[in-house]
Structure 1
Amino acid sequence: MKRIAIYHLETLLWIARLGTFRAAAERLNTTQPAISARVREIEEQLGIALFRREGRNMVLTARGRRLVKECEPLWAGFEKALLTASGFEGATGTVRIASGEIAAASCLPAFVHAVERDLPGVTLEIELDLTARMLTQLLGAMIDMAFLAGPVASPGIRTAEIGSVGLVWVASRATARAGGFVQSLPVWSIPSYSPLHGVMMETLALHGITPRSIGTCNNVRTLIEIIGGGGGAAVLPEPMVRGLLESGELAEILPRPTRTIRFEAAIRSTECDPVVLELFRRAGELRMDG
């Protein structure tokens, strides 16, 4: 009987998932030499080569790929059985999450607080990013889960809809009182890769409005400050400006667009880490405030 420990298999699977010994070492909170030593131990016990060098990279051999394929569901089942038995109270590890700015403002804080309360051994690393970049990072296993604007259609991605956010056309109170678009206002928007930009263009065409100019900024909170300071008009997520509308600092200057922005939680379709799957299940129960 080959003497392979559980941590050997865990090491092998994380190298396969993340692509490098260094990334696996970071994930397992150890050093790269320790990871290399574990790989050597597995290869010595099995009498086969699991990796081969290609340039600066180490890639799985054919027999290594087969071992990973056959062991991954066994490892996932083992982890899930232990965590389910404890109600996930003993779950540990670091989960990397990326989110768009709107989702982060609308539902991410409640999600984080629930994870901290129910799964105190799980550490979250959160970054704000753009949808296109998040998809690339998710497919490349650089992040574990993403909250992004959808719908997302990719064979490598599994998603759960978490709701949608309504939009409003706003300007500062002084700008609205002066006549709004009658003045031929400048318009501000998120750049063209965002669904917000598409709604902005559709609405201007629908109402026959030709703005003085269209400026772009990739940060919604900065856009809100620009508009609040009298810099023009913008279509913005209603939850992010609700307080300013209620206080009168901002005012609506066009009918609300009928189109909303849909949001989804996403993981890799091949994801089998039980902690990530549990967080994805919890994310699927979220509802956007919009």
Structure 2
Amino acid sequence: MRALRTLVEIDRIGSFAAAAERLGMTLSTLSVQMKTLEDELQFALFDRRHRPPQMTPAARQVAVHARTILAEVDAVRGLGDEPGALKGVLRVGFVGTASVRLLPDFLSAAALRQPAARFEVESGLSTDLLRRVARGELDAAVVTESPDMPLGVRIHRLRREAFALACPQDAPQRDLVRCCAELAFIRFLPSTGIGLIVDNYLRHHAGPVRETVTLDSVEAVMGCVNRGLGFAVLPEPDARRYASAAHVAALDAPPLERYLSIAVQEDGPGAVHAEALRDLFEAVAA
């Protein structure tokens, strides 16, 4: 089991040295462990002609199966736990817009409610986090739900958030159609959950935009709006958080909303603990 966990960590991180540091072992110990695993399986897991050694295609397939095996082992070990108890290390991702508002409270609630669990937290874009959940690299992730969800991922909705129109304070036009016609659209990445939702809404309810500037940070988007460079459509809590010299108003003709949801791999460790994780997230998101 230890060797399989090590192989999964090498696959996740992509480096012998980084995996050894992460697992608290020396590089030589990790190398011996992998050589012993190769001897037991009777085929090569690494191409040692490269420095550092590179995982073979067979090794990546072993890592896929290892994640399922380890999830089952963890489930068996958890049979004697109290219902809803979490323990060990769980890797959780947060979409950037949610991490700013939810992550501190999540870690505080986790320390109180699940003291036997340790959470390794990462932030990123919804699309990237969902791919990592599907591959088993993350046990769970809080993401913006979108119609384009990868296979093998289960979604549990946590909260609903309205979108808002943000435009310069001195702009005489404060309705969406006029903003599209007269101001530049400061757009959050269209490949993200937020970007897909907003682009679809504008296409159906506002018509073409005059010009578009695409940025990869909600804070940067609002920074441009605050400087009078254009308008944006963002989740209302984020728009208001970063608005210093911008007018922010909810979209109401028709309203636009997103779901923040927790994603887990259907057959991964997160699925085993999905109810406990959802309860923990809901305590924060309420």
Scaled by the length of structure 2, the TM-score of the pair is 0.72
Displacement of 1:161:
1.6
Match of 1:31 among 9, 26, 32: 26
Contact 1:168/1:257 (CA < 8 Å) preserved in 2?
A: no
Contact 1:79/1:274 (CA < 8 Å) preserved in 2?
A: no
SS at match of 1:265: strand
Distance in 2 (alpha carbons) for counterparts of 1:190 and 1:261 = 14
What is the match of residue 229 of structure 1?
A: 227
- How has the CA–CA distance of structure 1 residues 279 and 87 changed in structure 2, closer, same or farther, with 3 Å as cutoff? closer
- How has the CA–CA distance of structure 1 residues 256 and 102 changed in structure 2, closer, same or farther, with 3 Å as cutoff? farther
Distance in 2 (alpha carbons) for counterparts of 1:30 and 1:81 = 29
Distance in 2 (alpha carbons) for counterparts of 1:140 and 1:68 = 12
Displacement of 1:35:
3.5
- How has the CA–CA distance of structure 1 residues 24 and 77 changed in structure 2, closer, same or farther, with 3 Å as cutoff? farther
Contact 1:21/1:36 (CA < 8 Å) preserved in 2?
A: no
Distance in 1 (alpha carbons) for counterparts of 2:15 and 2:84 = 31
SS at match of 2:107: helix
What is the match of residue 212 of structure 1?
A: 210
Summarize the alignment of residues 136-215 of structure 1 with structure 2, pairs less than 5 Å apart: 136-151=131-146, 153-175=149-171, 178-180=172-174, 181=178, 184-205=182-203, 210-215=208-213
Contact 2:131/2:150 (CA < 8 Å) preserved in 1?
A: no
Distance in 1 (alpha carbons) for counterparts of 2:253 and 2:102 = 22
Deviation track 1:180-214 (CA, whole Å, cap 9, x = no partner) reads: 43781111111221344445445545555554311
What is the match of residue 5 of structure 1?
A: none
What is the match of residue 3 of structure 1?
A: none
SS at match of 1:174: coil
Paired letter, 2:188: I
What is the match of residue 15 of structure 1?
A: 7
Contact 1:265/1:283 (CA < 8 Å) preserved in 2?
A: no
**After alignment, is 137-146 or 78-87 more displaced?**
78-87
What is the match of residue 257 of structure 2?
A: 260
Distance in 2 (alpha carbons) for counterparts of 1:248 and 1:220 = 15
What is the match of residue 75 of structure 1?
A: 73
Displacement of 1:25:
3.9
Displacement of 1:270:
2.6
SS at match of 1:52: coil
What is the match of residue 282 of structure 2?
A: 285
Distance in 1 (alpha carbons) for counterparts of 2:238 and 2:109 = 22
What is the match of residue 6 of structure 1?
A: none
Distance in 2 (alpha carbons) for counterparts of 1:31 and 1:138 = 28
Displacement of 1:114:
0.8
What is the match of residue 128 of structure 1?
A: 123
Scaled by the length of structure 1, the TM-score of the pair is 0.71
Distance in 2 (alpha carbons) for counterparts of 1:106 and 1:39 = 41
Paired letter, 1:49: L
Distance in 2 (alpha carbons) for counterparts of 1:106 and 1:252 = 20
What is the match of residue 238 of structure 1?
A: 236
Distance in 2 (alpha carbons) for counterparts of 1:52 and 1:25 = 20
Paired letter, 2:257: T
1:271 aligns with 2:268: yes
Identity %: 18
SS at match of 2:263: strand
Aligned positions, number: 270
- How has the CA–CA distance of structure 1 residues 185 and 122 changed in structure 2, closer, same or farther, with 3 Å as cutoff? same
